Amino acid sequence: MSLSLQEELQVTLLDLTDDVKVELSELNQRKDSVTKGPDYKLFERGIMHAIIQGKRQMIDTLQNQLQRTETNQDITTLIQNTKQDLTTQLSQLHSEIPSNNTINQAYYEEGLTVAQLYETQGKYYVIQVISDKIYTIQSEDKL
């Protein structure tokens, strides 16, 4: 028995949820060495946390939206639109990161932009996996 597109994507999202839990667990295991280590390690931890947070948010959003979406075409359109929105957001965030800063407020704003950038990259990763899954399913259906 084959699964519907919606069921296939729900399974993929559950797999991604498991991956996020593993990533968060690994990040938390390294917590002690990071808090006692050099500053750049703390920054790296913040970046990883932002990526994981973005993935988790996108997984939750997609799970909720898939429950309300009925047709394969609606699902495909939803994923394509979300992917396009995230691509635009990533491009905008990349352009907002200044090349150099001279005042503390600019550093703070740059830090927020960088955090948003990595969170959005986490979201984009999830939407890319789902988009690839749809493509694979549609390719198999054409065979």
pLDDT under 50 in the chain at which residues?
none
User: Is 36 strand, coil or helix?
Assistant: coil
Is 89 in contact with 120 (CB distance < 8 Å)? yes
pLDDT at position 94: 82
User: Which amino acid, one-letter code, is at 29?
Assistant: Q
CA distances 15 to 8, 19, 53, 117, 118, Å, are 11, 6, 16, 24, 21
> Tokens for 70?
């009925």
pLDDT at position 45: 81
pLDDT at position 77: 95
Gap between the Cα atoms of 71 and 29, Å rounded: 42
The radius of gyration computed from the CA coordinates of the chain, to the nearest angstrom, equals: 18
pLDDT at position 54: 94
- pTM (2 d.p.): 0.74
Q: Which domain holds residue 38?
A: 5-142
pLDDT at position 103: 57
Gap between the Cα atoms of 87 and 122, Å rounded: 12
Count of domains for the chain: 1
